[in-house]
Chain A
Amino acid sequence: MTTDRHDGKRVDEATGTETVGHEWDGIEELDTPMPRWWLWTLYLTIVWGVVYVILYPAWPLVDRATAGVLGWTSRGQLAKEMSIADQARTTVREQLVRIPIERLPENSALMQQAVAGGRAAFKVHCSQCHGSGAAGSQTLGYPNLNDDDWLWGGDLKAIHFTLVNGIRQPDRDSTRASDMPPFEGVFDAGQLTALSEHVLSFSGKGRANPVGARIYADNCTICHGPAGEGDRAQGAPRLNDAIWLYGNTREDVARQILRPRMGVMPAWEGRLDPATIKMLAAYVHSLGGGEDFVEVAADPAIEVDERP
């Protein structure tokens, strides 16, 4: 029994409910009214939407959005969360400032936190030159910090000193500085080839020769040592190992003799707070090439804190 209605819809016989007027393969949809609570839920969401638009930034305008009466912004919330996070870090930072760097390894919990903090700080302040994995760049002459070759020493204290004072920082007396004189115009081409070959022979890459040996003994031994063992006190690189800051081909070595490149690193004291610098030292030391304390560097500029 079908009751046809003026708009083509009909009333379902069994339930007395009007259909919505659609039919799929003989199945019709009843236009059953919503339960009251369902409608109230819908109205509540609408009210909530309006309230939200009034309270919070919501409505996009041409170059900004409505501010909302609560004055909430995501930037403001971020700033607040950051300051809370900073406060949580203050204890660790205070501890770090107080502890002398050479005593840091004794406090393994603090050391771990320092390494973690240093990892983050490294990405921000150091990765531009040394790379995010601290592998440096041979082409550009930024040293690799993962290996076990250190121009100025690789224990925590030496690394910390380098970070604080920088390398070849002008107007800074305590900075690490070494000077490789340029030999351009001093050697002829044959002498240069012989010397490069001899230098490479220290690490087994070239052939030792008397001409090169004589030139080396006259010009290089004073800094690099008779067998190319280098001198950390002066920052003279070892020549008898497998690691070459500016490359290990004959051309690379010859170029470094004629027109030496000498890298520069900023002194971080004054740019970064002492706690961050200690964190960075701990992180760089943790990269796998860090050296144990064998001797406190002979540099008188390094203050040894005797307090426990």
Chain B
Amino acid sequence: MSDPDKPELIEDGVRKTNEPVSSAVAAPEATTRRHEPHEPARTHLPEKLFEARKTVHNRRIDGPFRRFKWFVMLVTLAIYYGTPWIRWDRGPYAPDQAVLVDLANRRFYMFGIEIWPQEFYFVAGLLIMAGVGLFIITSAVGRAWCGYACPQTVWTDLFQHVDRFVDGDRFARQKLDAAPWGPNKIARRALKWTIYLVIGFWTGGAWIMYFADAPTLVHDFWRGEAAPAAYITVAILTLTTVTLGGFMREQVCIYMCPWPRIQTAMMDEKSLLVTYKDWRGEPRGSVKKAERNPGMVGDCIDCTMCVQVCPTGIDIRDGPQIGCITCALCIDACDRVMAEVGRPRGLIDYATLEDCEAEANGAKPRPAWRALLRPRTIAYTLIWGSIGLAMLFALGNRSRTDLSVAPDRNPPFMLMSDGSVRNSYTLSLRNMATRPRPMEVAIEGLPGAVMWSDTMSRAQAARMIRITVPADSTQTMRAYVVAPADTAATSFAFSLTALGEERETDRTETNFDAPQASQ
């Protein structure tokens, strides 16, 4: 096994060894990891039912992609933890939390937008946009979602930084893993798992903030006065965050996540992928070997840095594979090594399969941004944009007043003692504005008919009833409509007019039932 005290090739960009590059970097422990195609891989069946997980201890690396990953991680975590604390003034009748999923009252608030349950198609539209957005990203730049923005990736990254903070970098962690349990290991594990739990608790705690007023909930939570659902949710999310982000990590991507299985359908030879340019790298050999046999050895010096920095522990030089989340840390690592040994960067690079083929045949490398502009991504973007525009249009034109009418069917009509015919209806008057509004319910058509509600006397029956609907709520009202004797079954309409600064009207057709004309 490797000597753990042996200086590593790259530690904060300083080479600490005088040994020739090739022998220094080809650490024996790393070589055993590497897949040897010509070695008779597994000559007999594995007798055990399961395959033990090989813990991934990925090495620290710095580079443009790593810095981008830091940036995305900070932004996404800030959005996740910070959003519930943004306030938004909606006036006295509505909550002042900018993003709030109010399950108890069945309202969804997002800044200036308030969604009622029957407007849930807006949320469906957002989900479709998210799906199509994923198609755009995937067809253009492959698994960028997986590599940078997926919560599993972000939290795994966070937990890997915790590992590094507590136990040290790759070799220190490997050494600690192999070491017997002792005070040092126990203390480090206890510290590490405590930090895991704190992160998990924070994650679960931030989640419940979206479902209630955040400051109040925090206050209630610590006083033990929050709803049981809050504590249960935090407990479950703490557990799942620690399990999935702290312990399962790449196994979630490889075994549990359906997305890598279907996204191959989104990608084609024009999608950007993290690719090892084997025509340039193979056959692998040290710098010395290359000097001895000019032209016979490829650029890859087999330093396995690309494997060591990989958060899912794969070898990109085996080609595109399900374990690759295209986080491009191997590109950072390889570019560094290529600079060290004085060879051009880009042995591992973002490239399309088409470009790879062209490049292998001697064509000039083409700029990567071209992958973004092609009919497929443009078509996806058009679909995405038109859904968005349609939703914006619908959002701008939706009415904050709604009337729905349910006629009584049991019995469908009623003969009154003076011979007139009565029908009953259940009206739902919706006031979706955040202030109480006076509204007028009126009968349109059905000559001679009057109505009264169950909160008024029949003596007050009229063609139009005025009623004040409280802010942001649905008022249910029973309406008894009486039409003169000999009225035939017909259709008519109820109209609802919201009074106030801006008048809004809704109208609903319904039926009036009557006995069939006799004799």
Instruction: Count chain A CB atoms within 10 A of each CB in B43, B417, B480 and give the residue with the most.
Output: B417
Is A147 touching B415 in the complex (CB atoms < 8 A)? Answer: yes
The answer to whether B255 has its CB under 8 Å from any CB of chain A is yes
Instruction: Count chain B CB atoms within 10 A of each CB in A34, A146, A241 and give the residue with the most.
Output: A146
The answer to whether A24 has its CB under 8 Å from any CB of chain B is no
Is B45 touching A18 in the complex (CB atoms < 8 A)? Answer: yes
The answer to whether A16 has its CB under 8 Å from any CB of chain B is yes
Tell whether A132 pairs with B410 under 8 Å between CB atoms, given A16-B42, A34-B49. Answer: yes
Contact with A along B61-78 (1 / 0, CB 8 A): 000000000000000000
Total interface residues on A, CB under 8 Å, equals 34
Is B37 touching A33 in the complex (CB atoms < 8 A)? Answer: no
Is A286 touching B454 in the complex (CB atoms < 8 A)? Answer: yes
Is A33 touching B46 in the complex (CB atoms < 8 A)? Answer: yes
Is B52 touching A36 in the complex (CB atoms < 8 A)? Answer: yes
CA distance A135 to B410 in the complex (A): 8
Partner of A288, one of B45, B48, B419, B422: B422
Contact with B along A3-43 (1 / 0, CB 8 A): 10000000101111110000000000000111111110000
CA distance A88 to B39 in the complex (A): 74
Is A35 touching B414 in the complex (CB atoms < 8 A)? Answer: no
Q: Using a CB-CB cutoff of 8 Å, which residues 426-469 of chain B contact chain A?
A: 454, 457-458
Q: Using a CB-CB cutoff of 8 Å, which residues 278-293 of chain A contact chain B?
A: 286, 288-289, 292
In the bound complex, residues from chain A placing their C-beta under 8 Å from that of B251 are 35, 37
Is A133 touching B417 in the complex (CB atoms < 8 A)? Answer: no
CA distance A37 to B52 in the complex (A): 9
Tell whether A146 pairs with B417 under 8 Å between CB atoms, given A36-B52, A38-B50. Answer: no
Main secondary structure of the interface of B (DSSP, over half): loop
Contact with B along A130-149 (1 / 0, CB 8 A): 01110100000000101111
In the complex, how many angstroms separate the beta carbon of A105 from the nearest chain B beta carbon? 10
Main secondary structure of the interface of A (DSSP, over half): loop
In the complex, how many angstroms separate the beta carbon of A130 from the nearest chain B beta carbon? 11
Is B416 touching A148 in the complex (CB atoms < 8 A)? Answer: yes
Is B51 touching A36 in the complex (CB atoms < 8 A)? Answer: yes
Q: Using a CB-CB cutoff of 8 Å, which residues 86-140 of chain A contact chain B?
A: 131-133, 135
Is A11 touching B50 in the complex (CB atoms < 8 A)? Answer: no
In the complex, how many angstroms separate the beta carbon of A113 from the nearest chain B beta carbon? 14
Is B417 touching A242 in the complex (CB atoms < 8 A)? Answer: yes
CA distance A11 to B415 in the complex (A): 85
The answer to whether B248 has its CB under 8 Å from any CB of chain A is yes
The answer to whether B364 has its CB under 8 Å from any CB of chain A is no
The answer to whether B53 has its CB under 8 Å from any CB of chain A is yes
CA distance A242 to B45 in the complex (A): 92
Is A35 touching B42 in the complex (CB atoms < 8 A)? Answer: no
The answer to whether A238 has its CB under 8 Å from any CB of chain B is yes
Is A33 touching B414 in the complex (CB atoms < 8 A)? Answer: no
In the bound complex, residues from chain A placing their C-beta under 8 Å from that of B410 are 131-133, 135
The answer to whether A243 has its CB under 8 Å from any CB of chain B is yes
In the bound complex, residues from chain A placing their C-beta under 8 Å from that of B180 are none
CA distance A39 to B424 in the complex (A): 62
CA distance A36 to B251 in the complex (A): 11
Is B248 touching A146 in the complex (CB atoms < 8 A)? Answer: no
CA distance A190 to B54 in the complex (A): 108
In the bound complex, residues from chain B placing their C-beta under 8 Å from that of A13 are 37, 41
Is A243 touching B417 in the complex (CB atoms < 8 A)? Answer: yes
Is A34 touching B50 in the complex (CB atoms < 8 A)? Answer: yes
Write the chain A residue with the least CB distance to B518: A248
In the bound complex, residues from chain B placing their C-beta under 8 Å from that of A32 are 51
Contact with A along B233-267 (1 / 0, CB 8 A): 00000000000000010010001000000000000
CA distance A33 to B45 in the complex (A): 10
Q: Using a CB-CB cutoff of 8 Å, which residues 243-289 of chain A contact chain B?
A: 243, 286, 288-289
Total interface residues on B, CB under 8 Å, equals 34
Is B418 touching A242 in the complex (CB atoms < 8 A)? Answer: yes
CA distance A286 to B418 in the complex (A): 20
CA distance A233 to B160 in the complex (A): 89
CA distance A148 to B250 in the complex (A): 74
Instruction: Count chain B CB atoms within 10 A of each CB in A35, A238, A292 and give the residue with the most.
Output: A35
Is A35 touching B422 in the complex (CB atoms < 8 A)? Answer: no
Partner of B480, one of A241, A243, A288: A288
Is A148 touching B417 in the complex (CB atoms < 8 A)? Answer: yes
Write the chain A residue with the least CB distance to B51: A33
The answer to whether B134 has its CB under 8 Å from any CB of chain A is no
CA distance A241 to B415 in the complex (A): 10
Tell whether A242 pairs with B419 under 8 Å between CB atoms, given A14-B37, A37-B248. Answer: yes
The answer to whether B485 has its CB under 8 Å from any CB of chain A is yes
In the bound complex, residues from chain B placing their C-beta under 8 Å from that of A243 are 415-417
The answer to whether B411 has its CB under 8 Å from any CB of chain A is yes
Is A39 touching B422 in the complex (CB atoms < 8 A)? Answer: no
Is A33 touching B50 in the complex (CB atoms < 8 A)? Answer: yes
CA distance A3 to B414 in the complex (A): 86
Write the chain B residue with the least CB distance to A17: B42
In the bound complex, residues from chain B placing their C-beta under 8 Å from that of A39 are 49-50
Q: Using a CB-CB cutoff of 8 Å, which residues 172-219 of chain A contact chain B?
A: 203
Is A242 touching B50 in the complex (CB atoms < 8 A)? Answer: no
Is A35 touching B255 in the complex (CB atoms < 8 A)? Answer: yes
CA distance A16 to B255 in the complex (A): 19
CA distance A238 to B418 in the complex (A): 11
Is B414 touching A146 in the complex (CB atoms < 8 A)? Answer: yes
Partner of B51, one of A34, A135, A288, A289: A34
In the bound complex, residues from chain B placing their C-beta under 8 Å from that of A147 are 414-417, 422
Q: Using a CB-CB cutoff of 8 Å, which residues 392-425 of chain B contact chain A?
A: 408-411, 414-419, 422, 424
CA distance A202 to B496 in the complex (A): 41
Write the chain A residue with the least CB distance to B42: A16
In the bound complex, residues from chain A placing their C-beta under 8 Å from that of B411 are 131, 133, 135, 144, 146
Q: Using a CB-CB cutoff of 8 Å, which residues 296-332 of chain B contact chain A?
A: none
CA distance A165 to B251 in the complex (A): 74
In the bound complex, residues from chain A placing their C-beta under 8 Å from that of B422 are 146-147, 288
CA distance A13 to B42 in the complex (A): 9
In the complex, how many angstroms separate the beta carbon of A251 from the nearest chain B beta carbon? 14
In the bound complex, residues from chain A placing their C-beta under 8 Å from that of B458 are 148
CA distance A238 to B417 in the complex (A): 9
Write the chain B residue with the least CB distance to A292: B457
CA distance A133 to B415 in the complex (A): 14
Is B415 touching A33 in the complex (CB atoms < 8 A)? Answer: no
In the complex, how many angstroms separate the beta carbon of A243 from the nearest chain B beta carbon? 5
CA distance A292 to B460 in the complex (A): 12
In the complex, how many angstroms separate the beta carbon of B16 from the nearest chain A beta carbon? 36
Is B42 touching A144 in the complex (CB atoms < 8 A)? Answer: no
Tell whether A242 pairs with B416 under 8 Å between CB atoms, given A15-B41, A133-B411, A286-B454. Answer: yes
Pull 27 A–B residue pairs with CB atoms less than 8 Å apart, ordered by A: A13-B37, A15-B41, A16-B41, A17-B41, A34-B51, A36-B51, A36-B52, A37-B248, A39-B50, A133-B409, A144-B411, A144-B414, A146-B422, A147-B414, A147-B416, A148-B417, A203-B419, A241-B418, A241-B419, A242-B416, A242-B419, A243-B415, A288-B454, A288-B478, A288-B480, A289-B414, A289-B416
Q: What 9 A-B pairs have minimum CB-CB distances, sorted nearest first?
A: A16-B41, A133-B410, A241-B417, A135-B411, A242-B419, A16-B42, A33-B51, A36-B50, A149-B417
Q: Which residues of A contact B (CB under 8 A)?
A: 3, 11, 13-18, 32-39, 131-133, 135, 144, 146-149, 203, 238, 241-243, 286, 288-289, 292
Q: Beyond the given A35-B50, A131-B411, A288-B422, could you list 13 further A-B residue pairs with CB under 8 A, ordered by the A residue number?
A: A13-B41, A17-B42, A35-B51, A36-B50, A36-B51, A135-B414, A146-B424, A147-B416, A147-B422, A148-B416, A148-B458, A289-B414, A292-B457
